[in-house]
Amino acid sequence: MDHHLINSDEVRMWVYEETLQSGEKLTDAINRTNENVKYLPGIKLGKNVVADPDLENAVRDADMLVFVTPHQFMEGICKRLVGKIRPDAEAISLVKGMEVKMEGPCMISSLISQILGINCSVLMGANIANEIAVEKFSEATVGYRQNRDVAERWVQLFYTPYFIVTAVQDVEGVELCGTLKNVVAIAAGFVDGLEMGNNTKAAIMRLGLREMKAFSKLLFPSVKDSTFFESCGVADLITTCLGGRNRKVAEAYAKNGGKRSFDELEAEMLQGQKLQGVSTAREVYEVLSHRGWLELFPLFSTVHEISSGLLPPSAIVEYSEKQVRSF
């Protein structure tokens, strides 16, 4: 969904229209009840949030655009927005994932910038939505390119006493943390499904963080080590491996011995929400195999090989035992 601010008064939120079981349209239900009855029931949105099923109308005259949509839909959405937005608009992406093109991986913030010709920052962090919705404390990280003033504007917009936002000048580092941690969370879910315990899960998280850092720096040498210690790095990795959708569905996949596909489990368990980790694992695998890096990233490779059915879930342990011996 694209949320967007006009004089920080009315926030128009583009909502992909669907019809609820009651027969009411989702946008009508949101505007009538002031809550997203399907995806975040029981939580009142701000009175100034207006759901709009018309994408072009939602972005008209907006000077700040917030992208929060499953990454597989982003390219199509951006193409529909060409010529419809203000040339001086600023964008920020909360989207985890990448588009893999022949010439290499394209981060979602770059996709937005390239297609729309506007600057795009990112917001990532240890931010499981249902906890933020009930105003439990959390932190987040804004990654920005050049303009510190723009970063400060985003920080001010998102900041609340229970949502503490810090800006760092490292878009790729922040965005890759948010993207790659979902792959590690799939591995953590396998470990949970196989009932291997907290020590094994901690080992997977440590090895995963190391692969996140190595992969990010190979793709973008500008990525800073310090970014991995921000909320978008180690904190988001921890919360996503403890809670979160990717872990939950991967646990079910391992419990079923890989006999039920991720697509089937996603449809059954997530009521229309999307998993990101499985598709991101595939995208990362494409990059690794294309560049001859597969053996440098055994955890990332193994996650894809398990989730695509090439290996059984138990391979995640064999992988970690080999790993720990070799370091």
| Cα first-last separation, the chain | 43
**Structure token digits, residue 156:** 């001010």
59, containing H or E segment: helix 55-59
Give the type of residue at 79.
K
Write the CA distances from 310 to 127, 213, 248, 253, 320, integer angstroms: 32, 26, 21, 14, 17
Tell me if residue 283 falls in helix, strand or coil: helix
Angle between helices 245-255 and 277-291 in degrees, nearest 10: 80
Cβ atoms of 183 and 306 within 8 Å: the answer is no
Cα(136)–Cα(289) distance, rounded to whole angstroms? 41
Instruction: Say which of 96, 181, 213, 248 is annotated catalytic.
Output: 181
Which conformational region is residue 278 in: left (phi greater than 0), alpha (psi within -120 to 50 degrees), or beta? Answer: alpha
213 annotated active-site: no
The neighbouring-strand residues paired with 46 are none
**Residue 160 burial (CB < 10 Å; 0-12/13-18/19+)?**
exposed
State the maximum Cα–Cα separation within the chain, in Å, rounded to a whole number: 59
Dihedral angle computed from the Cα positions of residues 131, 247, 99 and 264, in that order, rounded to the nearest 10 degrees:
-110
Q: Which residues are catalytic?
A: 181
